[in-house]
Amino acid sequence: MAVRPYKRKGVIQSNKWMVDYYDSKKARQRLIYVGTRAEADAAEADLRKQHGSGPLKNPTINAILPEYLTWMRNHRAVKTVKDIELTLKKLQPHFGHYPVNRITRSLIEDYISLRKKAGRVTAQGKRIGEIKPSGINKELAYLSSIISWMVEQEYSYPLPFKIKKLKSRRPLPQIPTPAKIEAFLSALGKHDPMQEALAGILYDNGLRWSEAANLRWEMINWESGSINVKGKGDKERMAFLSDRCRRLLSPAWAKAGKGEASGWIFPSPVTGEPYSNQKKAWATAGRLAGVKINPHLLRHAYATFTLEATGDLRAVQVELDHASSRTTEIYTHISQARRREINQQRQEYLDKAKREYDQDKIAAQPGNDNSAQVIDISRHLKTNK
């Protein structure tokens, strides 16, 4: 079934809609509906029900949210659930009292306009700037997720249209040099060797924070140095202990019982549970090392350096646990940016050599005290290496 603008002699007729549907005998029918788009969508949904193809239920989004959130808590990471709960505070006032078949394109456009007008706000409701298109896109993605879940649970039919995202340019992360990252890890280790080990596992394997912070001793095969990582959707993949991490973890591993070690590797001394973040310790280490680094930046650094070293995009995709290679392709752009930087440095090097060559050539002209009979530009290249 579908609803589309009604055309007559190629001209769209105002407030008229062509509704396609199949009757109880599975024969295709068409009718012209006069009214708003929302009313036409509602009429189409009613036709589904009349001809035995309607959903068993058609609740509002607010009505299913308790069940939806329970499902999310059972199947998604704690961080994801918290993010959804925060996003729902924005989505509910606008969409919550609608069933899916009453959600229209104009309703979504109104939401986008309202979010742009509201901008970014603090917890106290104070406006602190414009909201980025990527922020609105994330909210719309969560709305699509809720609707998809309702469809899977047979609460409703899918939207008859695709929710279009705003054009958004994803900024390329600025990756510190390996030397800067090593300085950061060293500074972190001076504060707490276990924090350096945690950051080292992130950097050496490109793990997500949740994957590294939730590691247990049972997941490590100390002999082979392998780590059984549990990622998104409980998918498992292999990571490895570097020599650095082996050295840093050895005392804790021995204390935990070596071969019989169990429990969290990085528990908080306050709660006994994995850290949700270590912003204060990382900020302190960053100031000492003269660089700003967060866990996701270490993941970016791992991917960037691995791709530059191997050129194997597929391998990076597997290591990062990306479902689609399109997600991993951002690192090809980072690599290209690095190559542009190298070419620029090369050009500056050659320009400097040429300037020195030109100066020597002028000095070698007759009448100059420092004249030289033979000038070799290769000498300038060598001295500037």
Dist. CA 297–CA 173, nearest whole Å:
7
* Sequence-ordered list of residues with C-beta below 8 angstroms from that of 284, at least 6 positions apart, any chain: 187, 191
Q: How far is Cα 131 from Cα 126, in angstroms, rounded to an integer?
A: 13
Closest CA to 320 of 153, 207, 159: 207
Sheet with 220-221, side-by-side order of all strands: 220-221, 226-230, 236-240
Q: Which contacts (CB < 8 Å, 24+ apart) does range 350-357 have?
A: 350/381, 352/380, 352/384, 353/377, 353/380, 353/381, 353/384, 354/380, 356/380, 356/384
Nearest alpha-carbon partner for 142 in 79, 86, 60: 86
Determine the 3-state secondary structure of 29 from DSSP.
Answer: strand
Q: Which of 292, 322, 338, 357 is catalytic?
A: 322
Tell me the longest C-alpha to C-alpha distance in the chain. Answer: 105
The answer to whether 333 is a known catalytic residue is no
Catalytic residue among 6, 300, 331, 380: 331
Q: Are strands 236-240 and 220-221 parallel, antiparallel or unpaired?
A: unpaired
Residues 6+ apart with CB under 8 A from 328: 303, 313, 316, 317, 320, 322
Catalytic one of 75, 127, 287, 296 = 296
- Known catalytic membership, residue 302: no
Residue ranges of alpha helices (H) inside 220-278 are 243-256
Sequence-ordered strand ranges (E) for 23-64: 28-34
Give the single-character DSSP code of 122.
-
* Dist CA 29 CA 49 (whole Å): 15
Q: Cα(first)–Cα(last) distance of the chain, in Å?
A: 69
Q: Which of 16, 51, 216, 232 is catalytic?
A: 232
Q: b/e for 90-122, b at 16 or more Cβ within 10 A?
A: bbeebbeeebbbbbbbeebeebbeebeeeeeee
Catalytic residue (one of 90, 208, 300, 380) = 208
Phi, psi of 292 (to 5 degrees): -100, 120
For residue 32, what are the β-bridge partners? 18
Note if 331 is an active site residue: yes
Name the active-site residue from 94, 299, 300, 380: 299
User: Is residue 208 annotated as a catalytic residue, yes or no?
Assistant: yes
- Catalytic (active-site) positions: 208, 232, 296, 299, 322, 331
